[in-house]
Amino acid sequence: MEKVEKPGRYIGEEYNEIVKEDDSQLIKIALAFPDLYEIGMSHLGFKILYDIINKRKDSWAERVFTPALDFEKYLIDNDIPLFSLESFRPLHEFDIVGFSLQYEMSYTNILNMLNLGKITLRSIKRDTGSPLIIAGGPTAFNPEPLAEFIDLFVIGDGEEIINEIIDVYKDWSRKSRKSNKKELLKNLVMLEGIYIPSFYKVKYHPDGRIESFLKIEKKAPLKIKKRIVKNLNKTTFPVTPIVPNIDIVHNRITLEIFRGCTRGCRFCQAGIIYRPVRERSVECLLKIAELSFRNTGYEEISLSSLSSSDYSQIDNLTSMMVENYQSKGVGISLPSLRIDNFSLHLANQTQKVRKTGLTFAPEVGTERMSKIINKNVDENDLYRTVQNAFKMGWRRIKLYFMIGLPTETWEDIEGIVKMIKKVEMIGRNKVGKKFSLNVSINALVPKPHTPFQWLALEAEDDLNKKFQYITKMIRSNNISFSFPDTRLTLLEAVFSRGDRRLADVLEEAIKRGCKFDSWQEHFNFKSWQESFQKCNLKMEFYTHRNREKDELMPWDLIDCGIKKQYLWEEWEKALQGISTIDCRQSICHGCGLELVCQEIGNKSVRNFNNS
């Protein structure tokens, strides 16, 4: 073990880890995260499920992460199956294995983990004795690339449905002694928010587009409605999270202040699939914060959400948190801030003394484009905010942009360059040379359930030309610049909007050793190209193709609550450069969630007196 890098990843025994007495009656659930310990342990959804399942007396949730290559080799050389951190149980001995689906480029890691855990890859080839393989998370909103490997997908919020799944499982295992897996699936499909891919057949047109979905199980729904937890204040939240012994990516208490976002940025999938907006009350958050702090001793609390300055009580909450925790040496952090002086005021509250850095995401460089993506950032707002930030003492600014957007021209690219240079100039004028500007530019990957889902990915060459142009134009001692490997972007685009036929490619790719694809040092594009070739599929079919309005998408079985028609209208508005104002500040746009909003009391027109 000493020879393995960071053995702390594999041995468990952290504070707040749950170890139960092993008992054959106990339903054993592996929460599997298809990435390293440091990444998986930083993920809030993972902690929520761990907490909910382990509160039950009849179940035990344990953790399994992807081993790094050196430890993988150790496992294979010694013929040790991939095991859990809590009881060192081999993956194949669990009753249920649940994978967290956070990003498409982790799919090979899922297959690799099944392999290492000695579980047959394809669902139909697995016998009754193997665990039930389930998966959930944002990329489950297009589950199709994994359809052949996963028995069951959970669509939407997991807090309630996880208990329902366990109840059904328990009932089934008692009655049938785990003899008939099909029966179990038939019982589970009755729950809202469950997608069982083997209950549907897909027919394709000769050109590869989908002709139809065929439901082959009577009980299966025609469309799978996502689960929505309506009241976050009444939902359990983990206040005894595990405190890792080694450093992890986000080593802190994460307080989810609200879920959902209605800003309506047209490239953003999270902004659609996590709707509607549901806030936790200040009272509830303060209580969670205090319990979490006492149970962990953490030195940082992050007020997390998709856009934290949009929380209705953010000013109030931030000042109370700072007041409560400053004397205890606990820092408060606010990721995802808007670009305005109000956000700066908030950041200043939390970083009064030590101004670590500010991150802004203007995304685009021209007003025209900002209307197309519906981000609606006024560039003068950015300059004003940056100017004030320098004045107040910040010296590290991070800017996020995106290229490859619909109808993009060189003028838009020039706009980004101008914007970066202007920000740099503001810095120069305010503080001389003692500041750093970190610019990160990504390529748009059109995502399912967004207004851009019909759009083709921009050609690799064009993207690279633009990246190189920007690199050349903004070269400066104060600026550091990063952009992605466009081959990785290409693959992400394939799997984002891929269909079930990609199963063959995935299987082929892991045979060729593909894993940890999002880690530059492990990414092997050549193997991927060979895999596509062998399976007779073309990446371009998935990436560089504009879809027709009525094309049946692989994810059309999944009902995320937002109507396809609404997304299409948004797409048309994008092309016309018409923005859509956040429904919290205007009228209800009828995205499809009206009834849910009514039920939970979300109002469209906000009281403007506060802002």
State the SS3 of 69-138.
HHHHHHHHHCCCCCECCCCCCEHHHCCEEEEECCCHHHHHHHHHHHHHCCCCCCHHHCCCCCCEEEEECH
| 296: contact with other proteins by CB under 8 A | yes
| 78: contact with other proteins by CB under 8 A | no
Shortest Cβ 8–other proteins spacing (Å): 5
Name which of 5 and 572 has its Cβ closer to other proteins. Answer: 5
Residue 470 and residue 441 in contact, taking contact as beta carbons nearer than 8 Å:
yes
Choose among 316, 394, 404: nearest CA to 364: 404
Token pair listed for 214? 């065929």
Token pair listed for 549? 């309005």
Can you tell me which residue has the tokens 């209307």?
A: 371
Shortest Cβ 352–other proteins spacing (Å): 10
How far apart CA 26 and CA 59 sit, in angstroms, is 5
How far apart CA 282 and CA 266 sit, in angstroms, is 30
Q: Which residues lie across from 360 on neighbouring strands?
A: 399
Residues 6+ apart with CB under 8 A from 495: 104, 105, 107, 145, 502
Residue 228 and residue 596 in contact, taking contact as beta carbons nearer than 8 Å:
yes
| 528: contact with other proteins by CB under 8 A | no
Name which of 295 and 313 has its Cβ closer to other proteins. Answer: 295
Shortest Cβ 71–other proteins spacing (Å): 12
Tell me how far the alpha carbon of residue 331 is from its chain's centroid.
25
Residue 230 and residue 599 in contact, taking contact as beta carbons nearer than 8 Å:
yes
Shortest Cβ 325–other proteins spacing (Å): 11
| 329: contact with other proteins by CB under 8 A | yes
Cα-based distances in Å from 236 to 131, 147, 251, 604:
27, 30, 21, 27
Stretch that binds other proteins, among 29-37, 293-301, 529-537, 555-563 (CB under 8 A): 293-301
Choose among 103, 98, 102, 127: nearest CA to 114: 98
| 243: contact with other proteins by CB under 8 A | yes
Residue 89 and residue 28 in contact, taking contact as beta carbons nearer than 8 Å:
yes
Shortest Cβ 5–other proteins spacing (Å): 10
Shortest Cβ 300–other proteins spacing (Å): 11
| 393: contact with other proteins by CB under 8 A | no
Name which of 243 and 456 has its Cβ closer to other proteins. Answer: 243
Name which of 251 and 376 has its Cβ closer to other proteins. Answer: 251
Indicate which single residue of 57, 177, 328, 526 sits in contact with other proteins (rule: CB under 8 A). 328
> Site mask, other proteins, residues 346-365, x = CB under 8 A?
-------xx-----------
Stretch that binds other proteins, among 27-35, 175-183, 288-296, 382-390 (CB under 8 A): 288-296
Indicate which single residue of 12, 117, 137, 451 sits in contact with other proteins (rule: CB under 8 A). 12
**Footprint of other proteins on residues 15-44 (CB under 8 A)?**
15
Name which of 243 and 588 has its Cβ closer to other proteins. Answer: 243
Residues touching other proteins, count (CB under 8 A)? 25
Indicate which single residue of 11, 190, 214, 425 sits in contact with other proteins (rule: CB under 8 A). 11
Name which of 354 and 526 has its Cβ closer to other proteins. Answer: 354
User: Which residues contribute to the site for other proteins (CB under 8 A)?
Assistant: 1-2, 6-8, 11-15, 243, 245-247, 293-299, 328-329, 353-354
